């Protein structure tokens, strides 16, 4: 079982320092969240194209479609990984400074979404690329300040 107190004692070294464990945790959570976004988007689009909604669907039909989504491994496995990333993110926010965790995880998440999306053949707009580049630069600056201090 995961011991939150041991995790905190091992990783958290104060507001101005973020050790190797902190940085590795931020990278893992950001990548886990970001990599699952294109996979969930792909599974959802594929499922939507296979099941066109009817105008007056009953409650049983809606529940059936919902359950079929979770029985589809192409949706349920990325969804479970995404939720695991959410739990890990909450542990990071508890144990490390929010001002470090949130921008860094978000920047890594966007970059992972971009990389996995491109690998899956998705097209990105030019403004999206510029935004992700800015986030990476901000993340590098924040982590650089933590490591230097």
pLDDT computed for residue 81 by the predictor: 94
Tokens 């589809």 found at: 72
77-84 contact pairs (CB < 8 A, 24+) = 78/36, 78/39, 78/40, 78/43, 79/36, 79/40, 81/32, 81/35, 81/36, 82/32, 82/33, 82/36, 82/37, 82/40, 84/32
Whole-angstrom Cα distance, residue 39 to residue 37? 5
Is 22 exposed, middle or buried (CB count within 10 Å of its CB: 0-12, 13-18, 19+)? Answer: buried
Percent of the chain with pLDDT over 70: 73
Provide the pLDDT confidence category of residue 14 given band limits of 50, 70 and 90: very low
97 Cβ contact partners less than 8 Å away, ≥ 6 residues apart: 15, 18
The structure's pTM equals 0.68
Task: Judge whether 27 and 100 are in contact, CB under 8 Å.
Answer: no
Whole-angstrom Cα distance, residue 122 to residue 83? 23
Q: For 61-119, what is each residue's pLDDT tens digit?
A: 778 877 887 888 888 999 999 999 999 999 999 988 888 888 889 888 888 888 898 89
């Amino acid at each position: 079982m995961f011991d939150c107190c041991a995790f905190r004692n091992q990783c958290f070294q104060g507001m101005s320092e973020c050790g190797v464990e902190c940085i590795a945790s931020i990278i893992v959570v950001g990548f886990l969240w970001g990599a699952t976004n294109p996979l969930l988007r792909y599974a959802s689009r594929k499922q939507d194209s296979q099941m066109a909604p009817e105008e007056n669907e009953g409650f049983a039909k809606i529940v059936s479609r919902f359950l079929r989504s979770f029985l589809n491994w192409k949706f349920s496995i990325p969804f479970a990984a995404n939720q695991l990333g959410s739990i890990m993110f909450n542990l990071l926010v508890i144990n490390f400074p929010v001002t470090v965790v949130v921008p860094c995880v978000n920047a890594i998440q966007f970059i992972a979404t971009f990389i996995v999306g491109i690998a899956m053949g998705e097209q990105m707009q030019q403004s999206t690329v510029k935004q992700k580049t800015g986030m990476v630069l901000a993340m590098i600056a924040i982590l650089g300040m933590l490591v230097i201090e």
